[in-house]
Amino acid sequence: MKYLLNIITVILLFYVLIGCSSNNKNSRDAILYWCSNNSDEIKFAKIRTDEWNKNNLNDQVKYQAVPEGRSSEEIILAAVVGNTTPDIYSNMWQGDVEAYAQAGVLVALDSLKGFNEFLYERCDSSVVEEIKSLDGHIYQIPWKINPIMLIYNVNLINELGLNGPPKTYSEVFEAAQKFQKDFDGDGYVDRWFGYSEVEVTWWQRFFDFYPLYLAASGGAPLVKNNRAAFNNKYAIEVFAFLQEMYKKNYFSKEKLSARQDVFLSGVSATRFTGPWEIAHAEKFKPKGFEYEYSFMPVPDDHTGPVYTYGDPKNIVIFKTCKDPQAAWNYIKTLINDEGDLKLLSLTNQLPRRKKLNTNPFYSDYFLKNPKMKIFADQSEYVKGTDASPVLKEIFDLISQQYEACVVYGMKTPEQAINDAADAVNLLFLE
């Protein structure tokens, strides 16, 4: 009996090992590509990968949505720690790349044949500079952006007797004052001109301070040469502007995100948001609701183009990839002209490429999707994030001061920006 049990155990173990090894073999043969786990991007990955596999029998690619988790960033981190990274990942937030590059887990793409030519054809030199790592190498290829802009309720803005959305801080104050209402006469405001989360969470500043800072400063960096570079008049102006908005109750201090959509329900006339709001608004907007997008508000004396934050997601190749050149060849096809058009039409996300708004190849799409055209115009003037391995801490330190100054008015904008800059400089000294 004991002998029989031993034999069964050995046989079972043998089959398990065979099973594991055969799985590994399959996954190693193909290049593994992780895409975002939203359904539109999975569809995009499927179509593009199927096309590639049809024409490249020797370099087959297997696509897979990034495994479910609290956030894709955490999944990637876990994969890096566990050495189970895919060969290609296409949803890498630009701000994370520097830390991974310094950890030595990414392939320097500029070492691959044909990369530099492709990059300079796709992007302006300013974008190339922006994505360059601190060691001078490039570890990411710019892929897509979702610029943050001002969405506004057309009917409500028209009711105020304005000729379009406010463009400067003074115009915003004027419109906000007209819009603010206490309907039930209880002494408390019932509708606010705008809404921005008051949470101190670092990434919330992507939807208020950071795009406004880029707009005011013409795309200035937050850090440069391992020092804070935001201790300037633009950051102070942005803090002063937002502080006034909260002080005068033009923005609500309450967390409104848990209730009915404040923008679609007319509780607020504007918001700072990206193109993803279009699909949401089209699905849930009430009858007769009209909305448009406009550039981020700027200081009254601002001249030149209005920049904003582009929320860039880029593509990287991990060092676990056995054939980075083959992976790069696939990426080149994934994001070529046709690939970018497919990205636009399937996901309504903008490819990060130069002259997107004037390129005739995409003009049909923008004719059919006029609301996306303004984002394409804006895409000429977007910034991502600075290359720094401690970017989250930097945003957190700014966010702490933002809360003290902007939301609670406990510091002057000058003092708050100065304190944030000092704290960031200390961070670099550690």
Using rule CB under 8 A, residue 247 touches other proteins: no
**Region from 7-15, 59-67, 136-144, 253-261 binding other proteins, contact rule CB under 8 A:** 253-261
**Region from 23-31, 87-95, 131-139, 399-407 binding other proteins, contact rule CB under 8 A:** 399-407
Cβ partners under 8 Å of residue 402, min gap 6 = 200, 205, 208, 209, 239, 242, 416
Using rule CB under 8 A, residue 4 touches other proteins: no
Cα-based torsion angle of the residue sequence 245, 272, 279, 346 in order, rounded to the nearest 10 degrees? 180
Strand ranges of the sheet holding 313-317, from the earlier edge strand across to the other edge: 61-65, 31-35, 88-93, 313-317, 141-145, 350-351
Using rule CB under 8 A, residue 80 touches other proteins: yes
| Shortest spacing between CB 64 and other proteins, in angstroms | 22
Using rule CB under 8 A, residue 258 touches other proteins: yes
For the chain, the distance separating the N- and C-terminal CA atoms, rounded to the nearest angstrom, is 66
Q: What does each C-alpha distance from 271 to 49, 65, 115, 208 come to in angstroms?
A: 37, 31, 38, 9
Binding-site member from 52, 100, 193, 263 for other proteins (CB under 8 A): 100
**Region from 60-68, 95-103, 145-153, 235-243 binding other proteins, contact rule CB under 8 A:** 95-103
Using rule CB under 8 A, residue 135 touches other proteins: no
Q: What does each C-alpha distance from 356 to 147, 342, 351, 361 come to in angstroms?
A: 13, 14, 8, 9
The whole-angstrom separation of Cα 358 and Cα 365 is 12
| Shortest spacing between CB 15 and other proteins, in angstroms | 27
| Shortest spacing between CB 103 and other proteins, in angstroms | 4
**Region from 53-61, 229-237, 356-364, 396-404 binding other proteins, contact rule CB under 8 A:** 396-404
Using rule CB under 8 A, residue 81 touches other proteins: yes
The whole-angstrom separation of Cα 281 and Cα 283 is 5
| Shortest spacing between CB 37 and other proteins, in angstroms | 21
Binding-site member from 46, 181, 253, 355 for other proteins (CB under 8 A): 253
| Shortest spacing between CB 164 and other proteins, in angstroms | 29
| Shortest spacing between CB 1 and other proteins, in angstroms | 19
Binding-site member from 30, 77, 128, 160 for other proteins (CB under 8 A): 77
Cβ partners under 8 Å of residue 79, min gap 6 = 85, 86
Size of the site for other proteins (CB under 8 A): 33
Q: Would you give the distance in Å from CA 366 to the centre of its chain?
A: 21
By CB under 8 A, the residues from 180 to 219 that bind other proteins are 186, 188-190, 198-201
Q: Where on the chain is the footprint of other proteins (CB under 8 A)?
A: 77, 80-81, 99-100, 102-105, 186, 188-190, 198-201, 252-255, 258-259, 392-393, 396, 400, 403-404, 407-408, 410, 430
